A and B are shown apart, each in its own frame.
With several copies, the nearest count.
Chain A
Amino acid sequence: MKTQTTFQNFDLNKIPEDLYIPKDAFKLTLESFSGPMDLLLYLIHKKDVDILDINVAEITDQYVSYIDLMESLQIEIASDYLVMAATLAFIKSRMLLPTHEEDDVEDDPRSELIKRLQEYEKFKIASENIANLPRVDRDFFTASAALPKFSKNHKNSFIKNVDFAEIFSDINSRPKFDKSHKIEFLELSTEDRVRKILEFLKKRNIVEFYKLFKKDEGKQGVVVSMLASLELAKEKKIEIIQNEDSNHFYIKSKKSLNG
């Protein structure tokens, strides 16, 4: 922990050479923050100050430095980090304004942030406690044994017709949200998708939403199709329908389109 003061004066464009924590290890630390609140708490505790005594100006500068550092280490920064940076900058600017004696505690521009930090820290500590509870297949193991032989007639009665092909295509049709689809060259355009949806609706009146994109288009395909659908709905060219009991929704062309 002591060495970390070194980090505060680093050149924003590169990691200082006297930094004796290896670059990779440092990157790992930065990546291990679960979000902007986690990073902020880290910065506060690092200074060994109480949350209630935050010096917003100082913390803001450090926070922004860390974000810059993440950027230079090419860590993908969630927009939430930037939102927090803006919040801090806003509080900092408010703090710089002259205060009046009669201002009470409620007016402290930091109070909202402090409340959120306290609430978050409570759960952060609790989650560390839960992570340390004994867990199945990590700290303890369940016991079981293979089933005895069941007679054939008994067994056949309980396996219904299973459509394996349907199960398989169902798995395949699911977009893989966990894969990072780095589609470098394939830039999907909403405009293009709008055109294609209209073309398709000429042949068929109604289509399930998931058929509007292809598996290999990944998340981007889903997003572009969604944007295109919303655009068309806004222009009143299509209707978006969802049955109450279903996760699927459908794109239906409005009559004017066909008639």
Chain B
Amino acid sequence: MDNLINCVEAILLSAGRPIKISEIRELIRLMDQQAELADIKKAIIDLDKRFTDSTLQIVEVASGYRLQIKNEYSRLLLPMWQDNSSKTSKALMETLTIIAYKQPITRGEIESIRGVSVSTQIIRNLTERNWIKVSGYKDVPGRPALYKTTKEFLDDFQLKSIEDLPEITDSKSITDLELNFG
């Protein structure tokens, strides 16, 4: 299909997370089209060339390919992410916290702990900040993605390891309140 480069671009731009070549092939297959892994790989290289004069680049990481803004724009963008008083919303921090303590965890499981749905925007935002990543897929129907926190999450929150997270002590949990109606 001649349109392969555009399909790859659309997928990477909307995913907000690294994508494997096999995932791209699967999405194209669902459109009743065919694409070989080699063709997709070539489309990725061509797409990266197309980005030469733009602000984007394709970066290969462990879990696939992802679109990233070129580093020369970091000074321009930093203030947008520095001022996180409003953007690091409560919902975002709650989602991050649940992932930190319960990883690996699916979106559905996060939703059932929070009692409300977790917006796509939040998952995307956390992924783009590089605080969470997909670590695999749960072996249940639908194979939902399992999320876990990244090394960058630890760095940014000044934690040496995930064990450095404050312990959730029993005294803080509702099940153990002093008022323990037996």
Contact = CB atoms under 8 A, between A and B. Distances in A.
Whether chain A touches chain B in the assembled complex (some CB pair under 8 Å) = yes
Interface stretch (B21-29, B34-42, B87-95): B87-95
Nearest to B88: A131
Contact of B115 (A120, A155, A163, A170): A120
Interface in A172-207: 172-174, 176-179, 193, 196, 200, 203-204, 207
Contacts of A35: 91, 114-116
B121 A215 contact: no
Contacts of A124: 94
B161 to A, nearest CB: 14
Contact of A177 (B81, B97, B115): B115
Contacts of B158: 133-136, 140, 156, 159
A179 B115 contact: yes
A30 to B, nearest CB: 13
B81 A120 contact: no
Interface in B58-97: 59, 66-74, 77-78, 81-86, 88-91, 93-94, 96-97
A147 interface: yes
B47 interface: no
> Which of B82, B86, B88, B97 counts the most A-chain CB atoms under 10 A from its CB?
B97
Contacts of A174: 115
Contacts of A204: 178
Interface in A72-125: 78, 80, 84, 105, 108, 110, 116, 118-125
Contacts of A142: 14, 16-17, 66-69
B90 A130 contact: no
B68 A140 contact: yes
A52 B180 contact: yes
A80 B117 contact: yes
Given A122-B170, A176-B115, A214-B177, A144 B14 contact: yes
B56 interface: yes
A141 B14 contact: yes
Between A105, A122, A196, the greatest number of chain B beta carbons within 10 A of the residue's beta carbon is seen for A122
Contacts of B71: 134, 139-140, 148-149
Contacts of B97: 123, 126-127, 130, 164, 167-168, 171
Interface residues of B, number: 71
Interface residues of A, number: 88
Given A34-B114, A125-B169, A165-B169, A215 B82 contact: no
Given A158-B81, A167-B93, A147 B69 contact: yes
B116 A214 contact: no
A1 interface: no
Interface in B90-147: 90-91, 93-94, 96-98, 100-101, 113-117, 119-121, 124, 127-130
A147 B68 contact: yes
B166 A126 contact: yes
Contact of B93 (A127, A145, A172): A127
B173 interface: yes
Nearest to B94: A127
Contact of A133 (B127, B166, B178, B182): B166
A164 B67 contact: no
A166 B114 contact: no
B13 interface: yes
A3 interface: no
8 contacts: A36-B116, A84-B115, A133-B158, A142-B16, A145-B13, A145-B14, A146-B127, A148-B70
Given A146-B66, A168-B101, 20 more contacts: A51-B174, A53-B180, A130-B166, A133-B158, A135-B86, A137-B120, A141-B73, A142-B14, A143-B67, A145-B67, A148-B74, A158-B82, A162-B93, A162-B157, A164-B101, A167-B97, A170-B94, A178-B121, A178-B124, A196-B181
A-B residue pairs, 8 tightest by C-beta: A35-B116, A144-B16, A127-B97, A165-B166, A37-B115, A143-B13, A138-B86, A145-B67
